[in-house]
Amino acid sequence: MPWTRKDLITLEELSLDEINQIHATAAAFKKILGRSVKKVPALRGKTIVNLFLEPSTRTRISFDMAAKRLSADVISFDAAASSTTKGETLRDTAENVRALGADMIVIRHAASGSPLYLSKLLDIPVINAGDGAHAHPTQGLLDTFTMREHLGSLKGRKIVILGDILFSRVARSNIHALKKFGADVTLVGPSTLVPRHFTDLGVKVSHDLRSALADAEVVMLLRIQHERQATGYFPSLGEYTSMFGLNKTRAGWLNPKAIIMHPGPINRGVEIDNDLADGPNSVILEQVTNGIAVRMAVLYLCSGGQPENVIASGD
Amino acid sequence: MTPLWIQKAHIIDPAAKRDATGDLYVNEAGKIVPSLSAAAKKRARKIDASGLVACPGLVDIHVHFREPGQTHKETIATGSRAAAAGGFTTVVCMPNTSPVADNAGTIQAIKDAAARDAIVRVYPTGCITTGMKGQALAPIGSLKRAGVVAITDDGDCVQSNALMRSAVEYAKMFDLPVMDHCQDHALTLGAVMNEGVASTRLGLRGWPNAAEDIIVSRNVILSHYTGAHIHCQHISSKYSVELLRRAKARGVRITAEATPHHIALTDAALEHYDTHYKMNPPLRTEEDRLAIIDGLRDGAIDIIATDHAPHTDYEKDREFDNAPNGILGLETALPVTLDTLVRQNKFKLPYVIDLMTRKPAQLLKLPAGTLAEGAPADICLFDPAEKWLYDAKKGFSKSANSPWSGQTLTARVKYTIVGGKMVFENGNIR
């Protein structure tokens, strides 16, 4: 089936087949990344604008790297430098970017729904690099890509997402993707950060770490934001760590081959023990590497490339 | 003034328990009369109202006309034209203008503008607190003397229970109702939509029902304690309806309103982050919506009010988090309310007319809402069956922020008469 989408806004609207296409394309690009010459000419002559209106380091660098590996020209705006701080509306910023001749926009924005809004305004592709607590589709794609590399099929596999779920776009995008793969997903964390409404997304909600982690094959940790403590969602980082931090004892409850994931940046000693972050079960740095391949696939497909072409060139 | 002879109308006047086909007469003085002299009948303008309902001009005790200070959104002139087009002959303006209406001078300026520009009856409200900051009482006695019909910090609920207690106790001395936008601020920091399944999916910050329920409870308690009349604005939560019902059963002087949008729509409408569904309080769940309708049915909620809140296209055309709250209401209130209550929920038409005429007028003791003999001839004539395409951009409000724009609505206002003067007729302002 050919790829037909111009934009990538949320994984909720993608079919399983489309996610598989992205993963297959990413796998082909990943092979290219292992070569000595890592660049392909797929997007030569195209200009991609990274419109990062919320601070980000690793996602922006990852998109930057992905675009450059595809030979695109990349221009990055960040919140501080952009005119939005001077009161320009998102519509005006976007129309200016289009008038400058951009071929694609990658947007990160603190307000949920902004990429969808932008995609309706512009005829060029819009890629969501994270919007509020709504979606972070490339993260969900790279996380499930990484899980599949280790587990193969995700159907019926027990996967735990642990931490600040309420404010997490990473959790939401993973939930949508994992449901499509038929995984058995449990969200765990303090009840203030894992509200009951999430069960409506087709996942389990638990506040009991032991039963949730028992025999799980994947545990994905989410960063605990210090500001949540200040606004009263939990008493202290110390209490969080004592109740929900992943340590050696608790990791022992997992399936022995379980992988430990984290979208970064990690708080060592808060949500995860130092040793576990660097231990044999940790795939945290693989996630970073896979992120480039997955983002290359997304940029390539949404700019009109077809999966089979790259799969051929990758071999 | 030319006398009016409205012929063969379906006359619905809940105040007089009238619900029958007949003729209505308006004399030279603009009053409703039982009949006209033969000479006057000859001179009268005759309106064939067969197939139309004639009811008292509608009354809306919750509108934002944005004057002074935000006249790019709406003015008293344009707002009153939108009112006339929607069948409203009496409206009550909220005081969150710029500057806010917290002093007699601003109230006088609003009254002067209304006298000069309005084509329907416009009454002002004043603030509860100076600057609407919730810190110190506004000069409520002077506001009363200047002509306000109620006080309210609409949009910015008074958070201090002590200050609210003083406000209602003090306002009671002047027989002034206190209208409250029920919202606990600490529970709604950054909130832009109902907290629930939809906000979880959309990743938008949720506004829990509890934030309304707590303030409604507070108001029930303060009203019970002081004997003052507190009116809870735009109720959106099921539990609040139940709180009001129980308080009323005990005889507490508390009243409440519901908007057409809270009885017609739910938070499921926000799926595409359309800011035309963003308002405060937010659209809630189907369960809440049905509870509000039940409240209107049994009197737990007293009246319909629109919360007509104009904003320009460019203000609404933003990221969802950054767009202002509020939608237009005046030009769609009648068809939306009739569709929801009469067609879908089998309310009797006269009962619904009562919710939009006599009851709101009575709530604030306004001289309106009846077709009784000698009353000023404020009349709305509408076709309950006509289907029409509503285009907010072609409406009479200065703004066009309506979720119903582009939709076909059923029931259309044909004539609006204020004090015997035709102000709106077949799509045109006179």
- DSSP of B4-48, one letter per residue? EEEEEEEEEEGGGTEEEEEEEEE-TTSBEES---HHHHHHSEEEE
Sorting pLDDT into bands at 50, 70 and 90, what band is A306?
confident
Which domains are seen in chain B, by residue range?
57-363 (3.20.20.140)
Q: Test B320 with A113 for CB contact under 8 angstroms.
A: yes
Taking CA atoms, what residue in B is nearest to A91?
B318
| Contact with chain A for residue B210, Cβ under 8 A | no
Could you tell me how many helices (H) and strands (E) chain B has, helices first?
14, 19
Active site residues of B: 307
CA end-to-end span of chain B? 14
- Which has the closest alpha carbon to A62: A308, A311, A298? A298
What is the rounded CA–CA span in Å between residue A105 and residue A302?
Answer: 11
In whole angstroms, how large is the CA radius of gyration of chain B?
Answer: 21
Cβ-Cβ contacts under 8 Å, A192 against chain B = none
Taking CA atoms, what residue in B is nearest to A110?
B321
What is the rounded CA–CA span in Å between residue B94 and residue B98?
Answer: 11
- Which has the closest alpha carbon to B190: B208, B206, B174? B206
Q: Nearest C-alpha of chain B: how many angstroms from A114?
A: 5
Exposed, middle or buried by CB within 10 Å (0-12, 13-18, 19+), for A170?
buried
What is the rounded CA–CA span in Å between residue A224 and residue A166?
Answer: 11
Architecture of domain A137-287: 3-Layer(aba) Sandwich (3.40)
Pair A298, A11: CB distance under 8 Å: no
Residue A311's pLDDT is 62
Cβ-Cβ contacts under 8 Å, A195 against chain B = 200
Residue A312's pLDDT is 57
Q: Nearest C-alpha of chain A: how many angstroms from B189?
A: 10
Residue in A108, A112, A175 to test binding to B, most B beta-carbons within 10 Å: A112
Pair A187, A171: CB distance under 8 Å: yes
Q: Test B200 with A169 for CB contact under 8 angstroms.
A: no
- Which has the closest alpha carbon to B385: B357, B354, B349? B349
Q: Give me the residue from B189, B202, B318 closest to A90, CB to CB.
A: B318
What is the rounded CA–CA span in Å between residue B359 and residue B362?
Answer: 5
Q: Test B319 with A195 for CB contact under 8 angstroms.
A: no
| Contact with chain A for residue B199, Cβ under 8 A | yes
What is the rounded CA–CA span in Å between residue A233 and residue A24?
Answer: 40
Q: Give me the residue from A90, A113, A195 closest to B202, CB to CB.
A: A113
Q: Give me the residue from B203, B318, B322 closest to A169, CB to CB.
A: B203
Residue in B270, B273, B315 to test binding to A, most A beta-carbons within 10 Å: B273
The rounded Cα B388 to chain-centroid distance in angstroms is 22
Tokens 């077709």 correspond to what residue?
B371
What element of type H or E holds A108?
strand A104-109
Cβ-Cβ contacts under 8 Å, B273 against chain A = 112-113, 116-117
Q: Nearest C-alpha of chain A: how many angstroms from B128?
A: 30
- Which has the closest alpha carbon to A157: A259, A301, A5, A87? A259
More confident residue, A78 or B223: B223
Which numeric CATH code is attached to A11-135+292-314?
3.40.50.1370
Residue A315's pLDDT is 45
Pair B247, B254: CB distance under 8 Å: yes
Q: Give me the residue from B197, B314, B321 closest to A111, CB to CB.
A: B321
What is the rounded CA–CA span in Å between residue B238 and residue B262?
Answer: 11
Q: Alpha helix locations (H) across A166-266?
A: 169-180, 209-213, 226-230, 237-244, 248-251
Q: Give me the residue from B195, B199, B320 closest to A111, CB to CB.
A: B320
In whole angstroms, how large is the CA radius of gyration of chain A?
Answer: 19
Q: Nearest C-alpha of chain B: how many angstroms from A180?
A: 16
Cβ-Cβ contacts under 8 Å, A135 against chain B = 203
Residues of chain B with pLDDT under 70: none
What is the rounded CA–CA span in Å between residue B52 and residue B426?
Answer: 12
User: Residue A166 has which token pair?
Assistant: 């309420």
How many alpha carbons lie under 13 Å from residue B118 in its C-beta half-sphere?
A: 24
Q: Test A172 with B203 for CB contact under 8 angstroms.
A: yes
Query: Mean pLDDT across chain B, nearest whole number?
Result: 97
Q: Give me the residue from B203, B272, B319 closest to A90, CB to CB.
A: B319
Pair B383, B414: CB distance under 8 Å: yes
Q: Please name the residues between 320 and 339 in chain B that touch chain A, using a CB distance below 8 Å.
A: 320-322
What is the rounded CA–CA span in Å between residue A109 and residue A118?
Answer: 11
Q: Give me the residue from B189, B273, B321 closest to A116, CB to CB.
A: B273
User: Residue B409 has which token pair?
Assistant: 């609505």
Sorting pLDDT into bands at 50, 70 and 90, what band is A308?
confident
Q: List chain A domain ranges.
A: 11-135+292-314, 137-287
Contacts of B80 (CB under 8 A, 6+ apart): B65, B91, B114, B117, B118, B119, B120, B122
| Contact with chain A for residue B246, Cβ under 8 A | no
Q: Test A201 with B322 for CB contact under 8 angstroms.
A: no
Pair A225, A164: CB distance under 8 Å: yes
Pair B91, B125: CB distance under 8 Å: no
Q: Test A133 with B204 for CB contact under 8 angstroms.
A: yes
| Contact with chain A for residue B185, Cβ under 8 A | no
Q: Test B200 with A195 for CB contact under 8 angstroms.
A: yes
Least confident of A7-16, A263-272, A283-292, B363-372: A263-272
Contacts of A170 (CB under 8 A, 6+ apart): A136, A139, A140, A143, A222, A263
Tokens 């009949």 correspond to what residue?
B35
Contacts of B286 (CB under 8 A, 6+ apart): B266, B268
What element of type H or E holds A265?
none
Chain A positions contacting chain B at CB under 8 Å are 12, 89-91, 109-114, 116-117, 131-135, 169, 172, 195, 197-198, 200-201, 231
Q: Nearest C-alpha of chain A: how many angstroms from B316?
A: 11
Q: Test A91 with B272 for CB contact under 8 angstroms.
A: no
| Contact with chain A for residue B196, Cβ under 8 A | yes
What is the rounded CA–CA span in Å between residue A265 and residue A156?
Answer: 29
Question: In this structure, is the dihedral angle defined by the CA atoms of residues B259, B260, B265 and B269, taken in order, positive or negative?
Answer: negative
What is the rounded CA–CA span in Å between residue A51 and residue B170?
Answer: 54
Q: Test A110 with B321 for CB contact under 8 angstroms.
A: yes
Q: Please name the residues between 6 and 45 in chain B that touch chain A, using a CB distance below 8 Å.
A: none
Q: Test A113 with B204 for CB contact under 8 angstroms.
A: yes
Taking CA atoms, what residue in A is nearest to B319?
A114
Question: In this structure, is the dihedral angle defined by the CA atoms of residues B41, B43, B44 and B45, taken in order, positive or negative?
Answer: positive
What is the rounded CA–CA span in Å between residue B322 and residue B192?
Answer: 9
| Contact with chain A for residue B190, Cβ under 8 A | no
What is the rounded CA–CA span in Å between residue B7 and residue A102?
Answer: 65
What element of type H or E holds A6?
none
Per-residue DSSP letters for B153-205?
Answer: -TTS----HHHHHHHHHHHHHTT--EEE----SGGGTT--EESSHHHHHHTPP
Taking CA atoms, what residue in B is nearest to A201?
B201
Q: Nearest C-alpha of chain A: how many angstroms from B269?
A: 14
**Vertex B298, ends B295 and B300: CA angle to 5°?**
50
| Partners of A106 in beta bridges | A50, A127
| Contact with chain A for residue B313, Cβ under 8 A | no
Tell me A223's DSSP state. P
